[in-house]
Structure 1
Amino acid sequence: MVYKRVSSALFFSIVWMLLVCPKAYSQSNSMRVARIFSDNMVLQQGIYAPVWGWADSGATVRISMSEKEYETVADDTGKWLVKMEPLPAGGPYTLSVSCGGQKEVFKNVMIGEVWLASGQSNMNYRVGAVLSADEVIKDANYADIREFCTPEVVSRTPHADLTGGEWKVCTPETVKGFSAVAYFFARALHLDKKVPVGIIHTSWSGTICEAWISAEMLYTIPAFKNRVIEEIYKSDEDWAALHQLGVEKDREREKIVQTTQVGLKQGAHKLSFNDKAWKEEAYPVYPPRVGLGGYQLLWLRKEVTLSKEALGEDLILHLGKVMTGDVTYFNGVEVGRERWDGVRSYRVPAKLLRKGKNVIAVRLLSEWGNGRLGDEASDPYLHSADNQVRISLKGQWKYNGEIEPKLPVGRGYSNNITCMYNTKIAPLLPYGIRGFLWYQGEGNSGQPELYKQLQPTMITDWRIRFEQGYLPFLLVQLPNISGGSCQYFREAQAESLQLPNVGMAVSIDVGDPYDIHPNNKKPVGERLYLRAKEMVYKDSVGVFQGPVYDSFRIEGNKIRLKFKSTGSGLMSKDGKDLRTFEVAGEDGKYVPAKAVIEGNDVLVWSDAVKKPLSARHAWDSNPAVNLYNKEGLPATSFRTNKEL
């Protein structure tokens, strides 16, 4: 094949010219500005802010803003670009772009701080679903905070421009759709610096890191070299068209979820239904644990016995945490339905109650293999308003996953290598920004060693593309979650701190052990800003992170752990003995250790290990950490010896 005979240098040139360089969008007798520019936009203060677009080759384009005028000529491909003189924070301004008889005018333009927020579902998690969302939304009157959300499009090759999107001013009506982590970051920055803040939100749920890296940079990682050649260079697949087929399958699935009546026609929700042949599972019920992973509609039933004293008033049916959606019935009558991850409490009218046998039936929608009725932290019960009646719903539930139709699942292409870079990063180049916010990793958490190459490669890739030097890169370390081995992945994430101008926000204490999408996003966004405040804005904030392991020294049968970023001192947050520490000796077997604070050090030991060689902390996917500094920030996972 021809590609085998070309030199590496020539190969890179071909890839660069044919695939990486976005095609120009020149159109005859037309002028347009890149879609990232719209009314309400925020431009980065203090830099030569780029403005670009397309026109006829050789056409003169004029740009004006803040009593400054600029002129340029579209190149041979039709691309034009101007870098406006630096401006301080302020506004509103009007930006106008004209060419021949055409003119585009953008109003309410602000100059301030612009951050690009990217990643997967936890960056894509919206304000409307956060903890105490009603209060957060009610207070979100910030005319100087704006967000641009990029559209969800896939492509095998880089796009020159976005297919849609607009800058939105933060109001209680619009903020519901903002990225929650980015919003809390922006709010903290705005309130602290009193400047306009723009967030370019360009995440996509479920995506992996290699989807966010350009083809030529991914080619430099040995594990992806051949894939880049086969899937990008040699392929002529239309990923957008193929992705659309998957979207249609997903729509078909949603239609089934909304319209199926099979279970109702069989009477699975009724008191009289015969469920003796159904299998049983103790609460909490996790469909994947009983062989019903992926996407499923299943029915669950629970019999409860009510005494005469329980009748006469409405009761509250508290199911605990449900994922992803449910339709819930009591004695054959629907009492509630929701389509979101969260705690379910429904009112059961007194007229539905009967002495003796009663039945709760739940049609549960399980998606992504993460469905559940309850979790280990849930306490389900049926109770009266005064709690004089309180019936536990733990114990055995009957279930059946064979009643409703099988749910079709479309193949998405958003996780193809380079795909997200092509449609959600390339079209933004070279917009002026202050830095990057990155919350991703769940999709790569099973490959920590590979991630040690992926994340630094992506950071370098983006910095090169935006042509603004070592742009700050702030990442969120994965939070606590039950199951898995996230401690190794957290360690892999932290290795990127060896690069210049990279900071990390620790979230090991604000996750939800039973939900990969925790709703407590406020501390995550605020910790990102705390890191930016010190690293980017050079404020003397004192302590911007929790205790950071620095070094260790063996002292007899104990190990002394030394920390940086101790602030006003170390403490046990809950006042109890320090926990989640372990030590190991020559056999490499770790055992739980006692730990005490001595100044800015922690002394750890176990009576079972006479000659300790190594120690580790929070070395678990869901550790109950309580080592903090007095500024209220936690220590994260670490180990003193990676060989043990």
Structure 2
Amino acid sequence: MKIRILLLLSLGLYAVHGVSNIKLPNLIMNNMVLQQRTKVLLWGKQEANERITITTSWNNKTYETSSNGSGEFEVQVETIEAGGPYTILFKNSKEEKLLKNVMLGEVWLCGGQSNMDISFRGLANQPVADALEHIMDSNYPNLRIYRVPRTFSFDVAEDIKGDWRVSNPNTAEIFSAIGFIFGRELHKQLNVPVGIILSAWGGSKVEAWMSKAKLAPYTEIKYAPEITNRNANRSPNLLFNAMINPLVKYKIKGALFYQGEGNTTNPSSYATLFPLMVEDWRERWKDNFPFYYVQLAPFGYHNMKWQSNGQEVARFREVQFNALKDIPNSYIVSTSDIGDEQTIHPPDKETVAKRLLYQVLATNYNYKSFEYNGPVYNRMEIVKNTVTVYFDHARYGLHDSRGEVKGFEIAGADKVFYPAQATIHRDPICIKLTADQVQNPVAVRYCFKNYFQGTLYNNYGLAAHPFRTDNW
């Protein structure tokens, strides 16, 4: 009996001492990657008005602070050049908490809807191309991945339920295909640890990723009468509250975003809201981080009762491209050549991830020798029945992928467009367009339809962006 009482007492004492006094958010944990060569914030909770020290092993430096009346504490710590693994020791008068296997490197946020969210498992009858090859090429101990669970909240949340995982076939398989491939290739190029945070939800609207304060002036944007898991991703603020706000203290290098399908029915609204969303995020992070986003891929949109040769989403892509002027330090990736008429989820995620990578390397990591974007319309010249079109991001030349350039149309003053015969010239680098039905052309379009097959590239194999010269 005495033995049993002593055992119970000892278990009781263990339970008391085992209660965690220091509570860290689920981003601050074992296996995490912190942004290198900067100041990063570490934060948490403990008893009110209590002293706490934080010691970082990479510089053997100890920081001291105290919690406020609500028990919250935070401290900025300096990070050195990439490396690890390191430890971080949190210590107060009652407890020590040691974080292990912490790396210093590059941290990127991936956001958006299903095309960013899709893992290598794909969706029902919608596979990701070469999924097994990518899964087998995922054993990278210094690549760490973090998936924010899909959830929503009417109130602004401070924490999330997730964990940092070391990349391997088991963890990579269920992570964002685009996010993983981007992170893997960035890791290989820079030879430093990389952390990828994924916060995405299929079908989401841009307003779901924005704060209530930023949307306040736009009273026409309403909540659904009843919010459920089926429509929360299309309701204002709810994903920002639950899936973005808990991240904003965590230092990132930049953000990648693939979204828009949820807003295609209202391009004019998106033209306003999308730049505001980026502004909102930057204000919350207190950082003008670079922002990279993906233009919607070609698709038939028969689910919307639209036609493949319609222009509804062509106009939306135009809004996406024009947002470059309204979002400082932003970049857009063309997907004009990888769409699928029958699925809104193109199988080729590797091309998207690598095009994002090329832009990131060129604009953030001093890879200056190559073109990082596909050809972009610059200007046109009209002489008699011939239109000559010049492009940016094509300094070494243009080429077609199928033996001829398709997708160009020209029109006269009657505003009727006809397919154009296109020929590539090299001195100067340009494309000349003619059509028998148009003797006095005034306007040009390239791939300005819901679905098309882009065939124009620069010499680096990057696809041209769709465009039009008219505003009809």
TM-score of the two chains, using structure 2 as the length reference: 0.88
Moved more, 50-59 or 418-427: 50-59
1:375-411 Cα shifts (integer Å, max 9, x gaps): xxxxxxxxxxxxxxxxxxxxxxxxxxxxxxxxxxxx4
1:631 correspondence with 2:460: yes
Partner-residue secondary structure (3-state), 1:575: coil
For residues 271 and 70 of structure 2, the distance between their equivalents in structure 1, rounded to whole angstroms, comes to 38
Does the 8 A contact of 1:42 with 1:110 survive in 2? yes
Where does 1:144-183 land on structure 2 (aligned, <5 Å)?
144-162=142-160, 164-183=161-180
1:79 correspondence with 2:77: no
Q: Which residue does the alignment assign to 1:539? A: 367
Aligned length, in residue pairs: 435
Percent of matched pairs sharing the same residue: 35
Post-superposition offset of 1:135: 1.8
Post-superposition offset of 1:477: 0.8
Where does 1:594-609 land on structure 2 (aligned, <5 Å)?
594-599=421-426, 600-609=429-438
Where does 1:321-470 land on structure 2 (aligned, <5 Å)?
411-468=230-287, 470=288
1:140-189 Cα shifts (integer Å, max 9, x gaps): 11111111111222111210111x11000001121101110011111111
Equivalent residue for 1:108, pick from 101, 114, 117: 101
Does the 8 A contact of 2:20 with 2:95 survive in 1? no
For residues 453 and 102 of structure 2, the distance between their equivalents in structure 1, rounded to whole angstroms, comes to 46
Partner letter of residue 452 of structure 1?
A: A
Post-superposition offset of 1:568: 2.2
Partner letter of residue 137 of structure 2?
A: D
Does the 8 A contact of 1:128 with 1:137 survive in 2? no
Q: Which residue does the alignment assign to 2:9? A: none
Post-superposition offset of 1:98: 2.3
For residues 77 and 426 of structure 1, the distance between their equivalents in structure 2, rounded to whole angstroms, comes to 19
Post-superposition offset of 1:62: 1.4
1:430-489 Cα shifts (integer Å, max 9, x gaps): 101000010111111121111111110001000110012x20101011111123432111
Does the 8 A contact of 1:119 with 1:439 survive in 2? yes
Post-superposition offset of 1:222: 5.8
Q: Which residue does the alignment assign to 2:125? A: none
Does the 8 A contact of 1:477 with 1:493 survive in 2? yes
Q: Which residue does the alignment assign to 1:90? A: 83
Does the 8 A contact of 1:148 with 1:165 survive in 2? yes
For residues 103 and 209 of structure 1, the distance between their equivalents in structure 2, rounded to whole angstroms, comes to 42
Does the 8 A contact of 2:26 with 2:162 survive in 1? yes
For residues 542 and 597 of structure 1, the distance between their equivalents in structure 2, rounded to whole angstroms, comes to 21
Post-superposition offset of 1:412: 3.5
Q: Which residue does the alignment assign to 1:622? A: 451
Does the 8 A contact of 2:152 with 2:239 survive in 1? yes
Q: Which residue does the alignment assign to 1:640? A: 469
Q: Which residue does the alignment assign to 1:49? A: 40
Post-superposition offset of 1:29: 9.0
Does the 8 A contact of 1:29 with 1:56 survive in 2? no
For residues 519 and 222 of structure 1, the distance between their equivalents in structure 2, rounded to whole angstroms, comes to 38
Post-superposition offset of 1:567: 4.1
For residues 452 and 223 of structure 1, the distance between their equivalents in structure 2, rounded to whole angstroms, comes to 15
Equivalent residue for 1:590, pick from 393, 417, 438: 417
Q: Which residue does the alignment assign to 1:201? A: 198
For residues 180 and 54 of structure 1, the distance between their equivalents in structure 2, rounded to whole angstroms, comes to 35
Q: Which residue does the alignment assign to 1:220? A: 217
1:192-232 Cα shifts (integer Å, max 9, x gaps): 100111001111111111000001111234643xx4xxx59
Partner letter of residue 352 of structure 2?
A: V
* Change in CA separation of 1:223 and 1:614 when aligned onto 2, cut-off 3 Å: farther
Q: Which residue does the alignment assign to 2:299? A: 481
Partner letter of residue 387 of structure 2?
A: I
For residues 220 and 536 of structure 1, the distance between their equivalents in structure 2, rounded to whole angstroms, comes to 34
For residues 631 and 149 of structure 1, the distance between their equivalents in structure 2, rounded to whole angstroms, comes to 33
Equivalent residue for 1:134, pick from 132, 136, 153: 132
Does the 8 A contact of 1:487 with 1:619 survive in 2? yes
Does the 8 A contact of 1:39 with 1:107 survive in 2? yes
Does the 8 A contact of 2:401 with 2:455 survive in 1? yes
CA-based RMSD of the aligned residues comes to 1.9
Post-superposition offset of 1:573: 1.5
Q: Which residue does the alignment assign to 1:61? A: 52
Post-superposition offset of 1:562: 1.1
For residues 154 and 176 of structure 1, the distance between their equivalents in structure 2, rounded to whole angstroms, comes to 24
For residues 210 and 434 of structure 2, the distance between their equivalents in structure 1, rounded to whole angstroms, comes to 44
1:23-52 Cα shifts (integer Å, max 9, x gaps): xxxxx9943111111111000011101111
Equivalent residue for 2:29, pick from 38, 46, 59: 38
* Change in CA separation of 1:59 and 1:630 when aligned onto 2, cut-off 3 Å: same
For residues 465 and 633 of structure 1, the distance between their equivalents in structure 2, rounded to whole angstroms, comes to 33
Partner-residue secondary structure (3-state), 2:356: helix
1:218-255 Cα shifts (integer Å, max 9, x gaps): 1234643xx4xxx59xxxx9x8xx63xx5xxxxxxxxx
Q: Which residue does the alignment assign to 2:6? A: none
Q: Note the residue ranges of structure 2 that are not aligned, 5 or more in a row.
A: 1-18, 123-127, 307-311
Equivalent residue for 1:502, pick from 330, 333, 337: 330
Post-superposition offset of 1:620: 1.1
For residues 61 and 159 of structure 1, the distance between their equivalents in structure 2, rounded to whole angstroms, comes to 24
For residues 322 and 71 of structure 2, the distance between their equivalents in structure 1, rounded to whole angstroms, comes to 42
For residues 449 and 203 of structure 1, the distance between their equivalents in structure 2, rounded to whole angstroms, comes to 23
Does the 8 A contact of 1:567 with 1:631 survive in 2? no
Runs of 4+ in 1 over 3 A off after TM superposition: 220-224
Moved more, 96-105 or 512-521: 96-105
For residues 611 and 491 of structure 1, the distance between their equivalents in structure 2, rounded to whole angstroms, comes to 25
Partner letter of residue 84 of structure 1?
A: V
Partner-residue secondary structure (3-state), 1:33: coil
For residues 512 and 583 of structure 1, the distance between their equivalents in structure 2, rounded to whole angstroms, comes to 25
Partner letter of residue 612 of structure 1?
A: P
For residues 531 and 634 of structure 1, the distance between their equivalents in structure 2, rounded to whole angstroms, comes to 13
Partner-residue secondary structure (3-state), 1:177: coil
Partner letter of residue 443 of structure 1?
A: G
Partner letter of residue 507 of structure 1?
A: T
Partner-residue secondary structure (3-state), 1:173: helix
For residues 494 and 555 of structure 1, the distance between their equivalents in structure 2, rounded to whole angstroms, comes to 28
